[in-house]
Amino acid sequence: MNIFWTMLRRDLLLAYRRRADVLTSLFFFVIVVSLFPLGVGPERSTLRLIAPGVVWVAALLAAMLSLNRLFAADHQDGTLEQMALAPVPLALIVLAKVLAHWMVSGLPLALMAPVLGLQFDLPGHALGILVISLVLGTPVLSLIGAIGAALTLGLRGGGVLLSLLVLPLYIPVLIFGAGAVESSMIGMSPQGHLSLLGAFLLLALLATPFVAASALKIAME
Amino acid sequence: MNWGSWSAFWHMGGYAFYVWGSYAVTLLCVVGECLLLAHRRRTLLKTLNQMHRLGNQDGNETPT
Amino acid sequence: MMGINWFKYSSPATFYPLAGKLIPLFYTLAALFCVAGLYVSFFVAPTDATQGEAYRIIFIHVPAAWMSMFIYLVMAFWAGIGLAFNTRLSSMMAQALAPTGAMLTFVALWTGALWGKPTWGTWWVWDARLTSELILLFLYIGYLSLTAAIDDPRRADKAGAILALVGVVNVPIIYFSVQWWNTLHQGASVSLTRAPSMAMTMLLGMLLMALAAWMYSIAAALSRVRLIILEREKHTTWVQEMLERKP
């Protein structure tokens, strides 16, 4: 377990040293969301209607943006191979890296979302649900994305290919994430959606680190 | 027998565009796939035969 | 059945000529079933009471949709076998199935749109089945692009296998999410649950066309797997000997 924390601290430190990268995907998220009112028109009832979907789709794209950096640097300088040879399961290391990735890419999105929700005239309780759904959902995006990042490691055109592989797999998260906000806006309980998101998170936590680890081993053969 | 005449058959009760549109595109896809496979096979056998005749076992070197 | 040593055919060198003998058989069967199926579909099956002649699209739509889903399962099965037991031929089989599966998915979507327009008045509805079929097409495209982007065939096999297996686990989750999402948004859209009571001859036509699609898929996949075998084994002695015999 020690290696898990060491790994987490290392990746967070590396991310801190390259703050610009983190900020880029956060600004991407903000800009994409802010473009929609300009495209759709400033009608407040329309904006309120599309807000959950827009914020969630933008979150999906922003999470995708930083995914190919998940393993790339460690792969290039050979650190990843050392990690694979280490006497701890590679899945544990993958889990630590994914957690670090989420803390610098997913968590800021979730914290930023209420401000963007205000642009779309979302009511207060819906903003709260939006944050909760993003906190539950974005880790799933990072976890599934880790598989895609491992599969496309070192390939030409890796970034676009990665989005092609991973986006279809994100659909359930998108449906229930946006659905939670939507149902809270029409006065229904979002609990069902949120529990399903939680179930996805548990499933992804249990399964994806192992899948991503074996994909990494294939990529490094 | 459903159809009084060939023109009734092609007319498809007014749904000719939808019915024949579906069947035509399916035919196109299937025939296209077969042609692509045949083409790929021809070019592959040609290169393999050339390589073999030149005695170039590697296939990546240019013969001198 | 017991007399045949199946493991003998798991080697590409012995499978290649066997597949060569089987391909014409499957193409012939596909053509026969197709002719019989088309005859039943157009000349025996009666006009549908509610949908008129437009319903005759189901004779390709439903078989294509069935096959597209079934091929994805078979592809993932062979990919998984290839990953678990490191058998080259099963991985090649998985790669050979993917383009045919993607083609049939496209056919199912296309015919679905052309069927939807006259019967529901719209080319596309975000119905659970249609949406899942669209996502299946995306999954096929992802698999094809991933295997095409990797130059090393062994890595392509294994990475593709992982993606196919992840896809297979996800397909039911995606299907149920989309279905659930769809019932929530059922507002103005049309209900597609009403299945027309099918006459026996309609069912027969559909089954014959499904058999034709099945035979065709086998034939196309076998042709493609032969090409993949040749491409990958071009330096081996058995390919060189075969070229010697048939210059």
Q: Is the pLDDT of residue C7 over 80?
A: no
Which pair of tokens denotes residue A100?
Answer: 């670090």
| pLDDT score, position C190 | 45
Whole-number Å distance between alpha carbons of A177 and A169: 14
What are the E-state strand segments in C64-191? none
Comparing CA positions, the residue from C74, C230, C92 lying closest to residue C165 is: C74
Whole-number Å distance between alpha carbons of A124 and A194: 18
End-to-end CA distance of chain B: 69
User: Are residues C145 and A169, on separate chains, in Cβ contact within 8 Å?
Assistant: no
The neighbouring-strand residues paired with C48 are: C52
Chain B within 8 Å of C231 (Cβ-Cβ)? yes
What are the E-state strand segments in chain A? none
| pLDDT score, position C236 | 83
Which pair of tokens denotes residue C108?
Answer: 């199912």
| pLDDT score, position C189 | 43
Window C:171-210, CB contacts with B under 8 Å = none
Which pair of tokens denotes residue A51?
Answer: 């807000």
Q: Which of chain C's residues have a Cβ under 8 Å away from the Cβ of A171?
A: 135, 174, 177-178
- Tens-place pLDDT, residues A101-154: 999 989 999 999 999 988 888 888 889 999 999 999 999 999 999 999 999 988
Q: Which of chain B's residues have a Cβ under 8 Å away from the Cβ of C118?
A: 15, 18
Task: For an interface test with B, give the residue of C95, C105, C114 to mutate (most B CBs within 10 A).
Answer: C114
Banded pLDDT at A24 (limits 50, 70, 90)? confident
- A209 neighbors A185 (Cβ within 8 angstroms): no
Question: How many CA atoms within 13 Å lie on the side-chain side of A40?
Answer: 18
Percent of chain A residues topping a pLDDT of 90: 49
Please give the average per-residue pLDDT across C55-62, as a whole number: 88
Name, of A81-85, C50-54, C127-131, C211-215, the range with top average pLDDT: C211-215
Q: Is the pLDDT of residue B64 over 60?
A: no
Comparing CA positions, the residue from C119, C113, C108 lying closest to residue C63 is: C108
User: Are residues B29 and C60, on separate chains, in Cβ contact within 8 Å?
Assistant: no
Q: Vertex C142, ends C170 and A135: CA angle to 5°?
A: 50
Q: Which of chain C's residues have a Cβ under 8 Å away from the Cβ of A169?
A: 166-167, 170, 174
Q: What is the pTM of this model?
A: 0.88
Window A:101-160, CB contacts with C under 8 Å = 147, 151-152, 155-158
- Tens-place pLDDT, residues A42-67: 888 888 889 999 999 999 999 888 88
Alpha-carbon distances, residue B64 vs A36, B49, B50 (angstroms): 62, 17, 14
Whole-number Å distance between alpha carbons of A130 and C96: 44
Q: Do chains B and C touch (3 or more CB pairs under 8 A)?
A: yes
Q: Which of chain C's residues have a Cβ under 8 Å away from the Cβ of A146?
A: none
Q: Which of B11-15, C20-24, C139-143, C159-163 has the lowest mean pLDDT?
A: B11-15
- C91 neighbors C80 (Cβ within 8 angstroms): no
Q: Which of chain C's residues have a Cβ under 8 Å away from the Cβ of B21?
A: 114
- C161 neighbors A167 (Cβ within 8 angstroms): no
Question: Which residues have C-beta within 8 Å of that of residue B51, sequence separation ≥ 6?
Answer: B57, B59, C234
Please give the average per-residue pLDDT across B33-38, as a whole number: 94
Cβ-in-10-Å burial (0-12, 13-18, 19+) of A101 comes to buried
User: Are residues C46 and B14, on separate chains, in Cβ contact within 8 Å?
Assistant: no
Banded pLDDT at C144 (limits 50, 70, 90)? very high
User: Are residues A165 and C145, on separate chains, in Cβ contact within 8 Å?
Assistant: yes
| pLDDT score, position C186 | 55
Chain C within 8 Å of A172 (Cβ-Cβ)? yes
Comparing CA positions, the residue from A207, A190, A217, A219 lying closest to residue A85 is: A217
Please give the average per-residue pLDDT across C53-76, as a whole number: 90
Which pair of tokens denotes residue C73?
Answer: 């399962």
Alpha-carbon distances, residue C226 vs A74, C139, C160 (angstroms): 39, 24, 19
| pLDDT score, position B62 | 47
Task: Give chains near A: 3+ CB pairs under 8 A.
Answer: C
User: Are residues C107 and B59, on separate chains, in Cβ contact within 8 Å?
Assistant: no
Q: Do chains B and A touch (3 or more CB pairs under 8 A)?
A: no
Chain B within 8 Å of C151 (Cβ-Cβ)? no
- Tens-place pLDDT, residues A97-112: 999 999 998 999 999 9
Q: Vertex C75, ends C70 and C76: CA angle to 5°?
A: 100
Comparing CA positions, the residue from C107, C89, A21 lying closest to residue B23 is: C107
Look up residue C52 and give its DSSP letter: B
Smallest CA–CA distance, residue C181 to chain A, in Å, is 7
Task: Give chains near C: 3+ CB pairs under 8 A.
Answer: A, B
Banded pLDDT at C52 (limits 50, 70, 90)? confident
Task: For an interface test with C, give the residue of A140, A147, A151, A188 to mutate (most C CBs within 10 A).
Answer: A151
Chain C within 8 Å of A220 (Cβ-Cβ)? no
Which pair of tokens denotes residue C53?
Answer: 């002649």
A163: enclosing H helix or E strand: helix A158-166
| pLDDT score, position A138 | 94
Q: Which of chain C's residues have a Cβ under 8 Å away from the Cβ of B59?
A: 234-235
Percent of chain C residues topping a pLDDT of 90: 46
Please provide the average confidence, as pLDDT, over all residues in chain B: 81
Nearest to C181 among A158, A179, A219 (CB): A179
C59: enclosing H helix or E strand: helix C58-85
Please give the average per-residue pLDDT across B19-25, as a whole number: 90
Nearest to C155 among A156, A167, A221 (CB): A221
Please provide the average confidence, as pLDDT, over all residues in chain C: 85
Smallest CA–CA distance, residue B8 to chain C, in Å, is 11
Q: Which of chain C's residues have a Cβ under 8 Å away from the Cβ of A167?
A: 138
Q: Is the pLDDT of residue C32 over 90?
A: yes
- Tens-place pLDDT, residues C71-98: 999 999 999 999 998 888 999 999 999 9
Alpha-carbon distances, residue C137 vs A147, A155, C79, C100, C213 (angstroms): 20, 23, 18, 11, 18
Chain C within 8 Å of B23 (Cβ-Cβ)? yes
- The residue ranking higher by pLDDT, A129 or C116, is A129
Smallest CA–CA distance, residue A88 to chain C, in Å, is 22
Smallest CA–CA distance, residue C204 to chain B, in Å, is 16
Q: Which of chain C's residues have a Cβ under 8 Å away from the Cβ of A172?
A: 170, 173-174, 177
Which pair of tokens denotes residue A121?
Answer: 């005239």
